[in-house]
Chain A
Amino acid sequence: MEAVARSGIEALALTDHDNVSGAVLFHRLASKVGVKPIQGAEVTLEGDRHLTLLARGPEGYATLCRLLTRVHLGSERRRQTLSWADLEAEVGREHQSTPIAGRAPHGLIALSGCRRGEVPALLWAGKSDEAFRAAARYLELFGRDGFALEVQRDYLPGGARVEEGLVRIARLLRLRLVATNNVHYVRKEDFWVHDLLTCARTLTSVEDVHPERRLNAENYLRSARSMAALFSDLPEAVEGALEIAEACSPAILPGRRLHPAFPLPPGEGPAAAFLRKMTMAGATWRYGRVTPGVRRRLEAELSVICGLGYEDYFLLVWDLCRHARRRGIRFAGRGSAADSAVAYCLGITNVDAVARGLLFERFMSLERGEKPDIDIDFDARHRDEVAGYVGDKYGADRVASVCTYNTFHARSAARDLGKALGLEPEDIDLLAKRLPHAHAGTIPQALTALPELRDSGLPFWKYERLFAAAAKVAGFPRHLGTHLGGIVVSRDPLTEVTPLQKAAKGVIVCQFDKEYVEDLGLIKLDLLSLRTLSAVEDAALDLAAREGFDYDAIPPADRATMAMIRSGRTVGVFQLESPAQRALQSRLGASEFEDLVASVALIRPGPIKGNMVEPYVARRRGREPVNYLHPALESILRKTYGVVLFQEQVIEIATVVAGFTPGEADRLRRVMTHHRHGPEMENIGRLFVEKAAARNIDEGVAGRIFACMEGYASYGFCEAHAAAFAATAYRTAYMVRHHPAEFYAAILSHQPMGYYPPGTLCVEAARRGVKTLGPDINLSRDRYVVERAGAWAGERAGTRAGEREEERAEERRGPAAMRVSLRQVKHLSHQAVTAILAAREEGGAFDSLLDFCRRCHPSVPRDAIESLILVGAFDSLEPNRRRLLWQLPLALAEPGKKTSGRGEVAGRGEAAGGEGVYGRMTGRPGAARLVEDTGAGAATIPNFTLEEKMRFEYDLLGFSPTSHIMAYLRPRLKAVGFVASNELDRLPAGRSVRIGGLPVRPHRPPTRSGKTIVFLSLEDEKGLADVTVFEKTYQASGRLLFSDPCPPLAVEGRTERRGKAMTVIARRVDRLAQVLDSR
């Protein structure tokens, strides 16, 4: 927009194709540089014709939004066009003498469009008469003031003929001519980037011909003077453009408010009174006796909430939480809303803001006057149900999801543009997989800095244009997505301010993301999906049924749970399971809930990079004295040992020490969070010192306090949010400590979630005495289930009813194990799993492979059955997996017959044809010919070896219930001096050590020095060993660490103690297979 302003352009129209997503940002930027923003869109009509529509103002913008909604929702996705009937329906006959009663004028100006507009396209095709009739039709619909013929001089072949025709029609129909510039990029020399993006969008390469690719580089921004010169022989067209610019006004109404009104129960009202009533009732529910202090706090909050006009919003959120509670849907409020005692009393959050002394001003303040942002996590399975409840209550046309603008980053730019440039797909895939999640302009630096790229052998010299293009498109919008939780609720139909469209999975989204919806007058709330809550719910229900367990009554300070957290054994615990968190817990010596709150705030890139963690740990452990720069700070910082850890503390210090108003204090918080360096920080620092001095605080002390806040608080975290997460962290830790079987089974059932892959969770469960049982065709379900000793010793579904009670009693007594879910097996679709369970329910347990095929095939296709065989799901019926594979074609071909003998495998088609899963995995003949080719008989078919079984299981399950690969290799590893993960703790620090395992999530967090440090865990049969790889070793071995898939690794290094845990500082990293083979 700065280029526009420099070009002497006074008004500019934004006319994206079928989209107004840029409207708010365009409005903001244009207003900033003094250019009049005209909002429009280039609408695609039936027949793939374009029509440019400009909004004269807010009314026209609303018509445009309704029209675009018809474009997106009125036809199949990806074939979005607007029918003439729809256009007529929205535009109406406003220009006629008898407009439709009660109907607002459409407020649009239509232009005949680019070369793909109906009138120009007909003229280009030499169909002058048809072009004339089409123009007359648009004139009839939009009226003389509402339709103009658009002249573009973009140097395309046939342009002169089209322009002659347009001028002729304009004179015949007395229509206005308008000179326009169809701008797609600012500078002419950027044409090639636009062309590449067009190729990427149309899934073509530069060598392909496509009608949407432009022939030349003439769609750049021309200055006002250049346009006047270009059209010097057609001055009326320039005047026409200026007249239209004059007739249009900005489409976005500042200060508009479309917040919904909460439908009050009969006899209640107004909303503020009802909110007060519900809050006070909630206070009694939460506190029992409402103290004057609590009452004062609630009244103060209510006066801010109602003073800013958000009573309906709070009631809306209260109502949906009440609905969730009634439906038994688990949820938890998070974010700064937990700073509110009203939100706590309304049951929106579970953090007692009064007891914790949390500052409401962090959430809302009269002075700031901003819209409150309430985020709530729901059990992932039911989040959509809650959103649906809001839609039902306020009207489907008034509720929609917020969209996200997915932009080009290094990987997506490399993939899309590499393909458009026609580069080798395999090379592009390798490059993209090894690129970090980074800015698209940083690819060249990554190529030299990252060994996995540097040593990849890719011909980078061929990719110079790709990297240049990637840098150009960095941050450009790539596609519209759906925000994970954000929804907007409006008083009026949403199509007054935003077009609606369908995103993936049929979700209706608006065309604006969370940053822009508020400018439209909409209010947003975040209803997020949290799988942890789904896992909690499953485990809690299982336990409640078995032993009357109540998750909500978990004791608040369970010593065993805290001891477990202190030990750093927190795999599976919400928010506390990453290697950094595990290491912190043992160093911190966590003993109370507040330690968990601090932990959630500490382990993030900011505090780690800012070196905040170690000073905090030292004070917490009493190794450093806790002191305060001023006595007034003690009450604020006592709970964090004198360290400024939370944003609320910044606000409170500014208020108490410098007498800042809540608004000033929040501004300080924002400056520290977003503008850590620069004049704004200096200015607010001066203000802090001045105001503190005015309150008789020594200037030097005030300066040191500010410097302290600057040093720590720039990475500060919202305490309310940390406390909300810490509550779930503690409870899930309790579940891991006391009910590992049920909880790990639940976590495994809700993958992907958390930090670790299923295999690691199984190892961790095993460390806690919970065995993982392989999938069983008669026992596995659609989720992991807990079996007790006795149940998994051989019983099958279909046990006689009389035996059940005894079984259950034994289950209650015996050690627990987790049975792998059918959904864990690769190639098994949801439908296949459903079919198996239905067949089992209907006809009881399967007694043979043949029986299974007869009852489940073809609902369960061959690939799925092969997978089941290879992972051992039929072992209880026939332990020889290879023999079952051999029998499978016959079982599929002749489901009514028994299988026996050799030479009967003659079936073809799906039954016997193709390579199947086994064939693809081994590169050997398909299962059908497995034995036939070797001449063996069924009776002599040997089973797969243990190694083969494990390999199939790792490939098809992601882990091996039969045996961990490292357990299998242990004798060899031991012979060459490798130690297991559980032996590390017993070794002294500084000891040279060799360790092997499956790498888990190698990652490179940002560091203060800028040097790369890689953290990873190595999983073996005993647990996890944490490994740190510093720059030098990383440069030598990064190719291994970040390859995909990453092979089992051997690490040589020295032990280093961190709290109670031991980590290995790597000196050398190799492929494990290579190390073993060389010995």
Chain B
Amino acid sequence: MARLIDRPIDRVRTAPGGHPRSFRWRGKAWRVDRTTEIWKDSGCWWEGEGEKVFFRVEIAGGRLAEVYFDRRAEKWYLYRVYD
């Protein structure tokens, strides 16, 4: 079961390649164990949206989540969580 979150996250630490290593959401720190996939989405460019780089990651406890980095806004977001 996947839940759409699409909310900003902070305190994101990244690896040299730009992969997230950990992030904080709802006051709790989450460690990224592994990045399983990366994809990019150019979004609605005609509305001024920038490119988003998505990471599907395994977080503590074996849960899957998707986070993305909005290049234009230079912000990280938690996109989806798989229960």
Residues in A lying within 8 Å of B, measured CB to CB: 155-161, 191-192, 195, 206, 215-218, 421, 465
Question: Which interface residue of A161, A215, A421, A465 has the most chain B CB atoms within 10 A?
Answer: A215
B53's nearest neighbour on chain A, judged by CB, is A155
In whole angstroms, how far apart are the Cα atoms of A159 and B36 in the complex? Answer: 11
Contact across chains for A217 and B40 when beta carbons are under 8 A apart: yes
Question: Which interface residue of A155, A158, A191, A421 has the most chain B CB atoms within 10 A?
Answer: A155
Q: A157-B39, A159-B37 are in contact. Are A217 and B51 (CB under 8 A)?
A: yes
Residues in A with CB closer than 8 Å to B53 are 155
Contact across chains for A206 and B46 when beta carbons are under 8 A apart: yes
Residue B39 contacts which of A156, A191, A195, A421 (CB distance < 8 angstroms)?
A: A156
B54's nearest neighbour on chain A, judged by CB, is A157
What's the A-B contact tally at a CB cutoff of 8 Å? 39
Residue B40 contacts which of A158, A195, A215, A465 (CB distance < 8 angstroms)?
A: A215
Contact across chains for A421 and B46 when beta carbons are under 8 A apart: yes
Q: A157-B54, A421-B46, A465-B46 are in contact. Are A216 and B37 (CB under 8 A)?
A: no
Residue B45 contacts which of A159, A161, A195, A218 (CB distance < 8 angstroms)?
A: A195
Residues in A with CB closer than 8 Å to B46 are 192, 206, 421, 465
Q: Is the interface of B mostly helix, strand, loop or mixed?
A: strand
In whole angstroms, how far apart are the Cα atoms of A156 and B40 in the complex? Answer: 6
**Within residues 1 to 54 of chain B, which ones have a CB less than 8 A from any CB in chain A?**
36-42, 44-46, 51, 53-54
Task: Determine the interface band of chain B, counting residues with CB < 8 A from chain A.
Answer: 10 to 19
In whole angstroms, how far apart are the Cα atoms of A206 and B48 in the complex? Answer: 13
Contact across chains for A160 and B45 when beta carbons are under 8 A apart: no
Residues in A with CB closer than 8 Å to B51 are 216-217
Residues in A with CB closer than 8 Å to B45 are 191-192, 195
Q: How far is the CB of B36 from chain A (nearest CB, A)?
A: 7
In whole angstroms, how far apart are the Cα atoms of A161 and B41 in the complex? Answer: 18
In whole angstroms, how far apart are the Cα atoms of A6 and B16 in the complex? Answer: 28
In whole angstroms, how far apart are the Cα atoms of A928 and B54 in the complex? Answer: 65
Q: How far is the CB of B16 from chain A (nearest CB, A)?
A: 14
Q: A216-B51, A217-B51 are in contact. Are A155 and B39 (CB under 8 A)?
A: yes
Q: How far is the CB of B3 from chain A (nearest CB, A)?
A: 18
Q: A157-B54, A192-B46, A465-B46 are in contact. Are A216 and B41 (CB under 8 A)?
A: yes
In whole angstroms, how far apart are the Cα atoms of A421 and B51 in the complex? Answer: 19
Residues in B with CB closer than 8 Å to A159 are 37, 39
Q: Nearest 5 A-B pairs (CB), nearest first?
A: A216-B40, A155-B40, A157-B39, A160-B37, A206-B46
Residues in A with CB closer than 8 Å to B39 are 155-159, 215-216
Contact across chains for A191 and B37 when beta carbons are under 8 A apart: no
Contact across chains for A218 and B37 when beta carbons are under 8 A apart: no
In whole angstroms, how far apart are the Cα atoms of A157 and B53 in the complex? Answer: 11
Contact across chains for A160 and B40 when beta carbons are under 8 A apart: no
Contact across chains for A216 and B42 when beta carbons are under 8 A apart: yes
Q: How far is the CB of A529 from chain B (nearest CB, A)?
A: 43
In whole angstroms, how far apart are the Cα atoms of A160 and B57 in the complex? Answer: 13
In whole angstroms, how far apart are the Cα atoms of A216 and B68 in the complex? Answer: 14
Question: Which interface residue of A161, A206, A216 has the most chain B CB atoms within 10 A?
Answer: A216
Q: How far is the CB of A729 from chain B (nearest CB, A)?
A: 53
A213's nearest neighbour on chain B, judged by CB, is B42
Residues in A with CB closer than 8 Å to B44 are 206
Q: A157-B54, A216-B51 are in contact. Are A191 and B42 (CB under 8 A)?
A: yes
Contact across chains for A155 and B38 when beta carbons are under 8 A apart: yes
Q: How far is the CB of A190 from chain B (nearest CB, A)?
A: 11
Question: Which interface residue of B39, B51, B53 has the most chain A CB atoms within 10 A?
Answer: B39
A205's nearest neighbour on chain B, judged by CB, is B46
Contact across chains for A218 and B36 when beta carbons are under 8 A apart: no
27 contacting pairs across A/B (C-beta < 8 A) = A155-B38, A155-B39, A155-B40, A155-B53, A157-B37, A157-B39, A158-B39, A159-B37, A160-B37, A191-B42, A191-B45, A192-B42, A192-B45, A192-B46, A195-B42, A195-B45, A206-B44, A215-B39, A215-B40, A215-B42, A216-B39, A216-B51, A217-B40, A217-B42, A217-B51, A218-B40, A465-B46
Residues in B with CB closer than 8 Å to A195 are 42, 45
Residues in A with CB closer than 8 Å to B37 are 157-161
Q: How far is the CB of B2 from chain A (nearest CB, A)?
A: 13
In whole angstroms, how far apart are the Cα atoms of A4 and B43 in the complex? Answer: 28
A191's nearest neighbour on chain B, judged by CB, is B42
Residues in A with CB closer than 8 Å to B40 are 155, 215-218
In whole angstroms, how far apart are the Cα atoms of A156 and B44 in the complex? Answer: 16
Q: How far is the CB of A675 from chain B (nearest CB, A)?
A: 41
Residues in A with CB closer than 8 Å to B36 are 160
B36's nearest neighbour on chain A, judged by CB, is A160
In whole angstroms, how far apart are the Cα atoms of A216 and B71 in the complex? Answer: 13
In whole angstroms, how far apart are the Cα atoms of A206 and B36 in the complex? Answer: 31
Residues in B with CB closer than 8 Å to A158 are 37, 39
Residues in A with CB closer than 8 Å to B38 are 155
B44's nearest neighbour on chain A, judged by CB, is A206
Q: How far is the CB of B65 from chain A (nearest CB, A)?
A: 15
15 extra A-B contacts, CB within 8 A, seeds A191-B45, A216-B51 = A155-B40, A155-B53, A157-B37, A157-B39, A158-B37, A158-B39, A160-B36, A192-B45, A206-B44, A215-B40, A215-B41, A216-B40, A216-B41, A218-B40, A421-B46
Residues in B with CB closer than 8 Å to A161 are 37
Q: How far is the CB of A213 from chain B (nearest CB, A)?
A: 10
In whole angstroms, how far apart are the Cα atoms of A158 and B39 in the complex? Answer: 8
In whole angstroms, how far apart are the Cα atoms of A160 and B44 in the complex? Answer: 25
Residues in B with CB closer than 8 Å to A215 are 39-42
Q: How far is the CB of A57 from chain B (nearest CB, A)?
A: 37
Residues in A with CB closer than 8 Å to B42 are 191-192, 195, 215-217
Q: How far is the CB of A18 from chain B (nearest CB, A)?
A: 26
Q: How far is the CB of B75 from chain A (nearest CB, A)?
A: 18
Residues in B with CB closer than 8 Å to A465 are 46
Residues in B with CB closer than 8 Å to A156 are 39
Q: How far is the CB of B69 from chain A (nearest CB, A)?
A: 13
In whole angstroms, how far apart are the Cα atoms of A159 and B39 in the complex? Answer: 8
In whole angstroms, how far apart are the Cα atoms of A191 and B51 in the complex? Answer: 11
Residues in A with CB closer than 8 Å to B54 are 157
**Within residues 69 to 83 of chain B, which ones have a CB less than 8 A from any CB in chain A?**
none
Q: How far is the CB of A88 from chain B (nearest CB, A)?
A: 36
Q: How far is the CB of A181 from chain B (nearest CB, A)?
A: 15
